[in-house]
Structure 1
Amino acid sequence: MGEVVQMHFTTPDYVIFALLLVASTCIGLFYALSGGRQRTTQEFLLADRSMSCLPVSLSLLATFQSAVAILGAPSEIYTYGTQYWFLGVSYFLGLLIPAHIFIPVFYRLRLTSAYEYLELRFNKTVRIMGTVTFIFQMVIYMGVVLYAPALALNAVTGFDLWGAVLAMGLVCTLYTTLGGLKAVIWTDVFQTIVMFAGQLAVIVVGAHQAGGMGEVWRKAMNGSRIASLDLNPDPTERHTFWTLGVGGVFLMLALYGVNQAQVQRYLSSRTEREAIMSCYVVFPCQQVVLCLGCLMGLVMFARYGEDSPLDKGYAPPCGALSTISSAFNSLATVTMEDLIKPYCPGMTEAKATLLSKGLALAYGLVCLAMAYIASLMGSVLQAAFSIFGMVGGPLLGLFCLGMFFPWANSIGAIVGLVAGLVMAFWIGIGNFISRMAVPTPLPPFINATAMPVPGNMTTAVMTTIMDSITSKPKPRGLQALYSLSYLWYSAHNSTTVVIVGLIVSLLTGPSKEKYLTPGTVYPVLGNLLFFLSKLRKSLQDHNDFILHNSLRECLPKFNSVLSGQMCALIDIVC
């Protein structure tokens, strides 16, 4: 195993880091001085609805598969093993459902903010509550994202922690304020390429230093970091196939279905078809990022063993820039469209655009303050996903309540959202306190420098597993609720909103579908019946085709046999 050596930035390192920040700033300046020069809110907030599929797809990828995923995933794999890789199973439904349900509804309503939908479906109060909840979620989240790579630079290179925070935060604020959503999307494209290059560089160099990929795999196997399929249905288990593959679907829906940062990119597409295609294009890209993150974790484990630098962090800072800039732009959008414009109907376009830029700048400064709070949150990956589960889950439930249940009314939506948020913070804070009291046990470390005898290896692993199973007490009562895996937060909290919202709606007088704004309800039953009728017709046509071909084959044979029998009968009579 290699020792962790404290490195420091040299002149070439500073040059590369500076070039990354300068290139991002130049993209913002280019879009500030070209085209319409960001003179309208339509251009500043939605890129004039002129973006094509590929840049939107890469921007969707960069927005949340950023420093948190690149820093968090390798650390997760290093510490707990490859079970986290099964999160990729959730990507399929997590992108297919937004592509064919959420995007068509939002795009056909010609929205700017996703929370406009809530007013069209319910009323203005629900819209404001949804907007404030989203602002709270993103302000906390972008603090985590900004702090994570700054911590990495400080831990690995000695680069000043808060100097890195200020440098990245101010650059993001600058190019977002100057260039609007076009600058954000094209900067995301640039930074996505840099992220892929950074991941590949870490894997290639690390694998070479560890002795090759074969040696990486051998050490990972010996170190019990290659996990098998865990079908344990216990929802309190941190990572199993069900928490990752099923609970992860709800997390992906909260991210890619109703989150303003992603919805804004869908709405910037030239056509609805290109918006839908962006979901299909981002799917394989997500799988690649996930696999590269897992490989990074295994390579780091093979290279450093127990003394991994991932204990302190490593991540390309470019990942943070893409996520933070997306947060600034989406926060400026919802604040302008949901909280200011409805109460200032006489505001001119020029004044609204200037105010939108001021809001992006203000949120940038807030982000710097939130980075300090993020320094107290511990695990980057779990902190980020917990935030989205605790706040994004109730928001997902609110949109699902309006979109899939025509009889849900505004009172049910308000009570449901409040109930979901109360439940979310109750479980989330209880989980945090219980984890502080009892640290999460880590998988056993087995010396990966020497290859044990296969029989002894099996005995050692099985003994360790049996000891961990028998020594781990099963949580009961409220402790079981607090022990819920963070990947179930979105599912649990969104379901709470829907159930409470439906009950309250039925008690207070359900809405009548004929009075709802057209296009705000997705016809689940109608589309299901249409699909089943098409399937039935297809099966019937297939059966008719088979029957027709069978008759065509059988009739000549039947006729020849019949004619032969008739001839024999005539011969007998004659």
Structure 2
Amino acid sequence: MGEVVQMHFTKEDYIIFALLLVASAGIGLFYAFSGGRQRTTQEFLMADRSMSCLPVSLSLLATFQSAVAILGAPSEVYTFGTQYWFLGCSYFLGLLIPAHVFIPVFYRLRLSSAYEYLELRFNKMVRVCGTVTFIFQMVIYMGVVLYAPALALNAVTGFDLWGAVLAMGLVCTLYTALGGLKAVIWTDVFQTVVMFAGQLAVIVVGASQAGGMAEVWKKAINGSRIAGLDLNPDPLERHTFWTLGVGGVFLMLALYGVNQAQVQRYLSSRTEREAVMSCYVVFPCQQVVLCLGCLMGLVMFARYGENSPLDKGYVKSNDQMVLYFVMDVFRDLPGLPGLFVACLFSGALSTISSAFNSLATVTMEDLIKPLVPNMTEEKATLLSKGLALAYGLVCLAMAYVASIMGSVLQAAFSIFGMVGGPLLGLFCLGMFFPWANPTGALVGLASGLAMAFWIGIGSFLMRLPGPTLVPSLNTTVLPPLDNITMTTVTSLVTTVTAKPRPTGVEALYSLSYMWYSAHNSAVVVVVGLLVSLLTGPMKEEDLTPGTVFPVMRSLRSFLPERYREKLCCVTPLAMKHKEINQMDKKGSNGAAYCKEDKDMESDKAAREDEDMDTSITHPSYQATAYSVQETAL
């Protein structure tokens, strides 16, 4: 095994990398000293609910398709082939469902935090538990995203490890704390462009050096890197069509349906229609990003074949292979390695800044404001900025522990499956099952998290290697050498002894990480429903209007009549865009629709319509957006 080969940056590379950091910080400073100057929490945390479709969709793309994808996807394809590409099949449902289920519910409720929904649907305790779970998830994830690219850069180029970590962390903290969500979204747009440029440059130059894309494809086919459709239903198989195309749907729902970092972007849109359109626009962009990652992996294989830099000892982990490849391809082209590193760090910056902003939002809206309801707007905004700064320092601390988490791609997906899965289950329990009660929600969430960490930690401690092929000890007498046919050779080569399929608890630990989200969300829903039925199902009159999606209404028609009455259903009425726009114009900041606005709206409606049922006193009830429809059939 050789030593790690370090290829150092040139002056041009450092200049390009520094320009990226300066530009990102500059965008944050611009929004700190322009417009409303981030003087209200609505502007700082919600961008005044004034963002258009394109920047929101590019920000959605950048938030989770970042350094993880840039480092992980090419090395995954290089090592295992293009089976990973089938993850793209999950994007369709993974974005269609949020666009037409989650966004309408969240947007019409005029929320700032996704976890406000949990209080409206269940109670304050469920909201707090959901918030704390999300904070735990994002803090761990930030450590992975910050540390992994810095470690890879240090190992391959000698770039100072903690210098890179501090540069990213501090710049990101600066523009997030000063510029708020507007700065985060617009830096995401800039960083997305840089990401595309860096990946395209590597693919074009690398393919050219390999003899063109036709030659790259030919070598990939000869090296068995072009994977076919693997329809093996075994959930223990790491990657098949079902694990990627179906298990990936639940992962996408956890990311794009209920994760605060994404929900906050939907809610920052000017209208519900633009929020839905941003989901549609991000779909082709995701496919492009996935294809770029796969193409880079194939170009890597065309350059190195089976003699990978990892096998030769030039790098120490899969996550360093991409940077080694980039430095190798661009060794005679000063400045281009700096462009790719800027691309890589753009991905990390976009993800971390989104995490800072969403963490500051949920901490303020879900934990602090309920305890200090009379806080002035000036103090709340200042505290929100302080929270963004504090989470930046926490992120730097978490970078210390991220190095033991293995492959960056698998680590990131595992985190979201282990923690995001139960959160997805909690939201689904509330949104699709009207009879689920707060006790069921709490017990379900606890059960889902317990199951998630049992499997996740068990898998980490007892990680089973993939099936290894070893020569068989079969003592069959071989025919004379000149009589051996190709069939005989093939038979001899494929006569192997594979590791037996795990059973029992070992099988649970061997579950593909792509199924974590589906499995853990299902546990929350099943346990939550059982506990709710045992402790007394939620009654229709106790439900806040607009918190249940009417999917059960159509499903109930297939049930016997005696069961229909037990399945209540609250149906949101479609709010007209004109009504939403009128609501958006309330208040001086153009979009605030806070608790006071709701109370004023309710009082006004009560005075204008003397026949309104005055028994409805829930402070978050919004008569302009929703009503309860009779569901007796």
| TM-score scaled by length of structure 2 | 0.79
**1:157: Cα distance to partner?**
1.6
Q: What CA distance in whole angstroms lies between the structure 1 residues aligned with 2:506 and 2:379? A: 53
Q: What CA distance in whole angstroms lies between the structure 2 residues aligned with 1:258 and 1:147? A: 26
1:143–1:370 contact (8 Å) kept in structure 2: yes
Residue by residue over 1:387-424, the C-alpha shift from the partner in whole angstroms, topping out at 9 and shown as x without a partner, is 00000000000000000000000000000000000000
Q: Which residue of the partner structure matches residue 361 of structure 1?
A: 389
Residue by residue over 1:147-166, the C-alpha shift from the partner in whole angstroms, topping out at 9 and shown as x without a partner, is 12112221332111111111
Q: Which residue of the partner structure matches residue 524 of structure 2?
A: 497
Q: What SS does the corresponding residue of 2:239 show, helix, strand or coil?
A: coil
Q: Does 1:32 align with 2:32?
A: yes
Q: What SS does the corresponding residue of 1:228 show, helix, strand or coil?
A: coil
- Code of the residue aligned with 2:298 in structure 1: it is L
Q: Which residue of the partner structure matches residue 203 of structure 1?
A: 203
2:469–2:498 contact (8 Å) kept in structure 1: no
1:82–1:226 contact (8 Å) kept in structure 2: yes
**1:460: Cα distance to partner?**
8.0
| Structural mapping, 1:59-74, within 5 Å | 59-74=59-74
Residue by residue over 1:6-53, the C-alpha shift from the partner in whole angstroms, topping out at 9 and shown as x without a partner, is 310110000000000000000000000000000000000000000000
> Which of the residues 464, 485, 490 maps onto 2:512?
485
1:30–1:179 contact (8 Å) kept in structure 2: yes
Q: What CA distance in whole angstroms lies between the structure 2 residues aligned with 1:200 and 1:118? A: 42
- Code of the residue aligned with 2:308 in structure 1: it is D
**1:273: Cα distance to partner?**
0.3
| Structural mapping, 1:200-239, within 5 Å | 200-239=200-239
1:80–1:442 contact (8 Å) kept in structure 2: no
Q: Does 1:94 align with 2:94?
A: yes
1:4–1:307 contact (8 Å) kept in structure 2: no
Q: Which residue of the partner structure matches residue 341 of structure 1?
A: 369
Q: Which residue of the partner structure matches residue 80 of structure 1?
A: 80
Q: What SS does the corresponding residue of 2:417 show, helix, strand or coil?
A: helix
2:96–2:279 contact (8 Å) kept in structure 1: yes
2:117–2:547 contact (8 Å) kept in structure 1: yes
Q: Which residue of the partner structure matches residue 450 of structure 2?
A: 422
Q: What CA distance in whole angstroms lies between the structure 1 residues aligned with 2:129 and 2:36? A: 33
Q: Does 1:411 align with 2:412?
A: no
Task: Summarize the Cα distance change of 1:473–1:107 in structure 2 as closer, same or farther, 3 Å threshold.
Answer: same
- Code of the residue aligned with 2:515 in structure 1: it is W
1:4–1:304 contact (8 Å) kept in structure 2: no
Q: Which residue of the partner structure matches residue 549 of structure 1?
A: none
1:130–1:395 contact (8 Å) kept in structure 2: yes
Q: What CA distance in whole angstroms lies between the structure 2 residues aligned with 1:415 and 1:171? A: 41
Q: Which residue of the partner structure matches residue 49 of structure 2?
A: 49
1:28–1:178 contact (8 Å) kept in structure 2: yes
Task: Summarize the Cα distance change of 1:281–1:311 in structure 2 as closer, same or farther, 3 Å threshold.
Answer: closer
Q: What SS does the corresponding residue of 2:163 show, helix, strand or coil?
A: helix
- Code of the residue aligned with 1:304 in structure 2: it is Y
Q: Which residue of the partner structure matches residue 390 of structure 1?
A: 418
Q: What SS does the corresponding residue of 1:145 show, helix, strand or coil?
A: helix
Task: Summarize the Cα distance change of 1:462–1:262 in structure 2 as closer, same or farther, 3 Å threshold.
Answer: farther
- Code of the residue aligned with 2:11 in structure 1: it is T
**1:461: Cα distance to partner?**
8.2
Q: Does 1:312 align with 2:339?
A: no
Q: What CA distance in whole angstroms lies between the structure 1 residues aligned with 2:488 and 2:503? A: 32
**1:467: Cα distance to partner?**
4.9
Task: Summarize the Cα distance change of 1:460–1:387 in structure 2 as closer, same or farther, 3 Å threshold.
Answer: farther
Residue by residue over 1:474-508, the C-alpha shift from the partner in whole angstroms, topping out at 9 and shown as x without a partner, is 00110001000000000000000000000000000
Residue by residue over 1:233-267, the C-alpha shift from the partner in whole angstroms, topping out at 9 and shown as x without a partner, is 00000000000000000000000000000000000
Q: Which residue of the partner structure matches residue 513 of structure 1?
A: 540
Q: What CA distance in whole angstroms lies between the structure 2 residues aligned with 1:290 and 1:376? A: 26
Q: What SS does the corresponding residue of 1:517 show, helix, strand or coil?
A: coil
Task: Summarize the Cα distance change of 1:160–1:441 in structure 2 as closer, same or farther, 3 Å threshold.
Answer: farther
2:432–2:552 contact (8 Å) kept in structure 1: no
Q: Which residue of the partner structure matches residue 449 of structure 1?
A: none
Q: What SS does the corresponding residue of 2:218 show, helix, strand or coil?
A: helix
Q: What SS does the corresponding residue of 1:471 show, helix, strand or coil?
A: coil
**1:525: Cα distance to partner?**
2.8
Q: Which residue of the partner structure matches residue 429 of structure 2?
A: 401
Q: Which residue of the partner structure matches residue 332 of structure 1?
A: 360
Q: What SS does the corresponding residue of 1:475 show, helix, strand or coil?
A: coil
Q: What CA distance in whole angstroms lies between the structure 1 residues aligned with 2:172 and 2:490? A: 48
2:27–2:187 contact (8 Å) kept in structure 1: yes
Q: Which residue of the partner structure matches residue 568 of structure 2?
A: none
Moved more, 318-327 or 220-229: 220-229
For structure 1, list consecutive stretches of 5 or more residues without a partner in the other structure.
445-455, 531-574
Return the structure number with greater helix share. Answer: 1
Residue by residue over 1:500-547, the C-alpha shift from the partner in whole angstroms, topping out at 9 and shown as x without a partner, is 0000000000001222000000000336689xxxxxxxxxxxxxxxxx
Residue by residue over 1:192-220, the C-alpha shift from the partner in whole angstroms, topping out at 9 and shown as x without a partner, is 00000111011011111222212211221
Task: Summarize the Cα distance change of 1:331–1:423 in structure 2 as closer, same or farther, 3 Å threshold.
Answer: same
Q: What CA distance in whole angstroms lies between the structure 2 residues aligned with 1:439 and 1:146? A: 28
Residue by residue over 1:429-456, the C-alpha shift from the partner in whole angstroms, topping out at 9 and shown as x without a partner, is 1111111xx4446899xxxxxxxxxxx9
| Structural mapping, 1:540-551, within 5 Å | none
Task: Summarize the Cα distance change of 1:467–1:89 in structure 2 as closer, same or farther, 3 Å threshold.
Answer: farther
- Aligned residue pairs total 514
Q: What SS does the corresponding residue of 2:85 show, helix, strand or coil?
A: helix
Q: What SS does the corresponding residue of 1:187 show, helix, strand or coil?
A: helix
Q: What CA distance in whole angstroms lies between the structure 2 residues aligned with 1:160 and 1:443? A: 40
| Structural mapping, 1:47-196, within 5 Å | 47-196=47-196
Q: What CA distance in whole angstroms lies between the structure 1 residues aligned with 2:286 and 2:554? A: 29
1:237–1:485 contact (8 Å) kept in structure 2: yes
Q: What SS does the corresponding residue of 1:372 show, helix, strand or coil?
A: coil
Q: What CA distance in whole angstroms lies between the structure 2 residues aligned with 1:8 and 1:85? A: 33
Greater C-alpha radius of gyration: 1
2:71–2:319 contact (8 Å) kept in structure 1: no
- Code of the residue aligned with 2:161 in structure 1: it is L
Root-mean-square deviation (Å): 2.1
For structure 2, list consecutive stretches of 5 or more residues without a partner in the other structure.
310-314, 324-340, 471-484, 558-633
1:56–1:266 contact (8 Å) kept in structure 2: yes
Q: What CA distance in whole angstroms lies between the structure 2 residues aligned with 1:457 and 1:204? A: 39
Q: What SS does the corresponding residue of 1:280 show, helix, strand or coil?
A: helix
| Structural mapping, 1:297-308, within 5 Å | 297-305=297-305, 306-308=307-309
Q: Does 1:256 align with 2:263?
A: no
Q: What CA distance in whole angstroms lies between the structure 1 residues aligned with 2:29 and 2:363? A: 24
Identity %: 84
Q: What CA distance in whole angstroms lies between the structure 2 residues aligned with 1:194 and 1:459? A: 53
Residue by residue over 1:292-327, the C-alpha shift from the partner in whole angstroms, topping out at 9 and shown as x without a partner, is 000001111111232346552436211000000000
Residue by residue over 1:130-171, the C-alpha shift from the partner in whole angstroms, topping out at 9 and shown as x without a partner, is 000000000000110111211222133211111111100111
Q: Which residue of the partner structure matches residue 565 of structure 1?
A: none
| TM-score scaled by length of structure 1 | 0.87
1:419–1:496 contact (8 Å) kept in structure 2: yes
Q: Which residue of the partner structure matches residue 287 of structure 1?
A: 287
- Code of the residue aligned with 1:282 in structure 2: it is V
Q: What CA distance in whole angstroms lies between the structure 2 residues aligned with 1:459 and 1:18? A: 60
